[in-house]
Amino acid sequence: MSELFREFMDQAREEDRTYLMEHECKAILESLGISSTRAFVARSEEEAVEMSDSIGYPTVLKVISPKVIHKSDAGGVKLDLKDAEDVKRAYGEIATSFGDENLIGVAVQEMAPPGIEAIVGVTTDPTFGPILIFGLGGVFVEILQDISLRSIPLSELDAEDMIEEIKGISLLKGYRGYSADIPALKRLLLQISDLVMKNPEIAEMDLNPVFLYPSGYKVVDARIITGERPEPPKEPVSKQDLHDLFYPKSIAVIGASGTKGKLGWNVFRNLIDHNFRGELYPINPRAETIQGITAYPSISDVKAPIDVAVVLVPASITSEVVKECCDCGVKYVIVESAGFAEMGETGRQIEEDMVAITKPCGCRILGPNCSGVINTYCSMVQSIGIVDALSQGNIGLISQAGVCAAGMLWGLRHVMDFGIVATIGNKLDINETDMLEAVSMDDNVDIISMYLESVKGGRRFIDVAKRITKTKPIIVLKAGRTEAGRKAVTSHTASMAGNDTVYEAVFKQAGIIRARDYEHMFNLTRAISKQPLPEKEGVFIITYAGSLGVISADAIIDNGMKLSELEPELKERLRDLLPEYVGGMNPVDYTFSMDAETVRRTIEIGVESEDVGSFIVVLQAEVLGSYVEPLGDIDYKGKPVMACVAGKEFAIDDVIKMEKAGIPVYQTPEQCADAIAVMHRYWLKSR
């Protein structure tokens, strides 16, 4: 904490106020080299005139009172005072109006020349802590809500992105005589970030307005609201990399059942059917064997080491079971049962009991209210729903909703290959950030998708994700955006969903790709997991239907990409392929004369072009199968291809074959264009 800030904080506490007055705020800012219209405190009419004479006219007078926070609204601001007589009159009006409001004096400051009006502020988010806000003032913020946000602390890139992100960036860069000193603005944002980091008692800050000039800026008004010094963020319970959670040598299923249809039957059946490579120990006091494997009355009766215990017992006895697991040296307890904090106070107390039991011994808890972990690389499926055969893949899926993740695998496994599927439920101990960090370290995983209803990891989530997205894309579907959604989230996983604007900002800050819905998340995941990232913005379109070619071209432009232009020599080669009635070079419309060999030769021409970064190929559903092998065998030289098949649901067998060949198939050109644009933007950001 800076000495000047401490001095003003102490004085504010003595006066029982939770904010710093304007002259105090500006003194702090000036001490950091932040330019402001400094406020001098006048306690008499004569002092106000002397200060105004010294500053130079015009000047501004503002009331200073611990009872008056919103000075303008209360009539406590007098602008554009041109001489001593104006100052005397303004001082008298303030003294008369606020004489009974514990008037300390009147602030005298220069009248700043007009510039581009901006706002710089700080607020505190319950999940991510201090958040910096920047936007243009006046109509931009009041009507257009033209603001950008980032979690503090900011990096230089964060500050640059905040400035570039607002809709009014053209005005800052120069428009009709207006412009702003962008390097100076960037320094201001970084200085405010640093000020808050060094003085965590700052709960809110409002620099409004800040006048931006072609050279420099002026903070015209400033306010700081203080709070208690926050607790430092809690470190993860353990520095474990969670490796043995994903690659256990032994699993005990407490509540394993021999009765088909019960959850304990499903979980144990999945482990058997998928040929889990380690040892399995069914725990059930009323059975000698479970599904052909020797059962044990309790986990303490198993005399071998156990890495993971999956718990499927009523919530009321879960604490006792967890205690027994800890006593037996179990490393990880996965509580798949429901009926905890999501159900109310009784369940919340059980959760607290479990934490109190496991924390001293270093045992980690996953869940409760989850569906365990699937790892195709050790043939482990802990799902509470029956899961059919899975192929090994490069996708990591982390889901706060266990049943949702497990249920979707029934269909998704035909077109997507997962490496790890991890569900987290109520996040009593292991949370989304722990899982994200652990899954990212698995060499089998190249892309991570996440379904989240809330974030517990706070700033650590941002830092971990930012590090991961430099090499592995993260796609997040965040639920609970609306008020109705937030209420549903609370009842489902006992999570408090944060402000969606803040989530949007921190996802950008961390380099996370945000999905609009489930379909969008899995559309993007399929594309990125199967295809390379496009390094160029040019897209080459091949179609059998002119209308779909036009729609594809529009979608490409709408997504900020461009149609590629073939080099002259390549155009000549393409002309040799085109029917006489086809003249377009991009989109290339072969109409219904298009066949697999023609498409293959056309793509091979496009691959050689320096201006082609990716392909959209619009194919007929009725002959889709004829394209699978020819398109799958092409050397695309690192350039992704997306297939658009209108009515693909009626050719699903061939769609699956195309997906298995590594080419994602979409229903519409817009979905293809969106995937390509998202991938290209990620490539640009991660370079």
The pLDDT tens digits of the residues spanning 589-626 come to 998 889 999 999 999 999 999 999 999 999 999 999 99
The answer, yes or no, to whether residue 139 has pLDDT greater than 80, is no
Least confident of 6-15, 488-497, 503-512: 488-497
The per-residue pLDDT for 432 is 96
Cβ-based neighbours of 241, under 8 Å, separated by 6 or more: 437, 438, 441
Please, what is the average pLDDT of the chain? 91
Rounded to an integer, what distance in angstroms lies between the CA atom of residue 661 and that of residue 431? 35
Between 237 and 87, whose confidence is greater?
A: 87
The angle formed by the CA atoms of residues 47, 49 and 51, to the nearest 5 degrees, is 70
User: What DSSP character marks residue 113?
Assistant: P
The answer, yes or no, to whether residue 564 has pLDDT greater than 50, is yes
Give whole-number Cα distances, 212 to 27, 31, 38, 220, 347, in Å: 20, 20, 16, 10, 54
Rounded to an integer, what distance in angstroms lies between the CA atom of residue 607 and that of residue 630? 15
The answer, yes or no, to whether residue 55 has pLDDT greater than 90, is yes
The per-residue pLDDT for 239 is 53
Rounded to an integer, what distance in angstroms lies between the CA atom of residue 632 and that of residue 644? 15
The pLDDT tens digits of the residues spanning 306-342 come to 999 999 999 999 999 999 999 999 999 999 998 888 7
Rounded to an integer, what distance in angstroms lies between the CA atom of residue 507 and that of residue 517? 15
- For the chain, give the percent of residues with pLDDT over 70: 94
| CATH fourth-level superfamily of 532-686 | Succinyl-CoA synthetase domains (3.40.50.261)
The per-residue pLDDT for 492 is 32
The pLDDT tens digits of the residues spanning 515-527 come to 999 999 999 999 9
Q: Is the domain defined by 243-527 classed in CATH 3.40.50.2000?
A: no
The per-residue pLDDT for 339 is 86
**CA-closest candidate to residue 267, choices 279, 278, 277, 252:** 252
Run of H or E residues at 624: none
Environment class of 17 (CB within 10 Å of its CB; exposed 0-12, middle 13-18, buried 19+):
middle
For the chain, give me the number of helices (H) and strands (E)? 24, 31
Structure tokens at 121: 């502020």
The answer, yes or no, to whether residue 198 has pLDDT greater than 70, is yes
Rounded to an integer, what distance in angstroms lies between the CA atom of residue 687 and that of residue 682? 9
The per-residue pLDDT for 522 is 95
| Mean pLDDT value across residues 560-570 | 97
Domain ranges, ordered by start, for the chain: 38-110, 116-226, 243-527, 532-686
| Mean pLDDT value across residues 21-39 | 92
The per-residue pLDDT for 271 is 97
Rounded to an integer, what distance in angstroms lies between the CA atom of residue 645 and that of residue 629? 16
- For the chain, give the percent of residues with pLDDT over 90: 78
Side-chain half-sphere CA neighbours of 16 within 13 A: 1
Contact predicate 353/361, CB 8 Å? no
Q: How confident is the model at residue 406 (pLDDT cuts 50, 70, 90)?
A: low
The answer, yes or no, to whether residue 409 has pLDDT greater than 90, is no
The answer, yes or no, to whether residue 270 has pLDDT greater than 80, is yes
The per-residue pLDDT for 328 is 96
Rounded to an integer, what distance in angstroms lies between the CA atom of residue 434 and that of residue 458? 12
If DSSP codes are grouped into helix, strand and coil, which group holds residue 19?
Answer: strand
Torsion over CA: 616, 617, 622, 625 (sign): negative
Rounded to an integer, what distance in angstroms lies between the CA atom of residue 87 and that of residue 46? 9
Side-chain half-sphere CA neighbours of 456 within 13 A: 20
Fold adopted by 116-226: D-amino Acid Aminotransferase; Chain A, domain 1 (3.30.470)
Run of H or E residues at 452: strand 447-452
Rounded to an integer, what distance in angstroms lies between the CA atom of residue 192 and that of residue 395? 39
The answer, yes or no, to whether residue 229 has pLDDT greater than 90, is no
The answer, yes or no, to whether residue 491 has pLDDT greater than 50, is no
Rounded to an integer, what distance in angstroms lies between the CA atom of residue 392 and that of residue 403? 21
Domains 243-527 and 532-686 are alike in CATH topology: yes
Residue 65: other Cβ atoms inside 10 A: 20
The per-residue pLDDT for 490 is 40
Q: How confident is the model at residue 234 (pLDDT cuts 50, 70, 90)?
A: low
Structure tokens at 68: 């008056």
The pLDDT tens digits of the residues spanning 493-513 come to 333 334 888 999 999 999 999
Residue 76: other Cβ atoms inside 10 A: 22
In CATH, the number for domain 38-110 is 3.30.1490.20
